[in-house]
Amino acid sequence: ANRLIPNLQAEFDLLYPQAQILVRKLEQGPPFNAPIELRVYGPNLDQLKELGDEYRRILSEIPHVTHTRATLLAGTPK
């Protein structure tokens, strides 16, 4: 499984660029790598988007980071 995961991930990324597909091995109990989450708070949505884009760019340059995604949605803040 460990050898197949990077190959499958690359293949799915090429075949389905419009989708976010994460190929992972099912693991139970520690120790195993887990996703990280970074939250940025503030009143200015434009600035939050800029900061989020910059953080995603930085994270994408780190080895073994597979995907990044933003969850900031346009519209009225709640």
Asked whether the beta carbons of 38 and 24 are under 8 A apart, the reply is: no
Question: In angstroms, rounded to a whole number, what is the distance separating the alpha carbons of residues 69 and 78?
Answer: 20
Per-residue pLDDT tens digits for 45-57: 888 888 888 888 8
Asked whether the beta carbons of 48 and 72 are under 8 A apart, the reply is: yes
pLDDT of residue 38: 76
pTM, rounded to two decimals: 0.52
User: For residues 3, 26, 58 and 40, what is the CA-based torsion angle, rounded to 10 degrees?
Assistant: 180
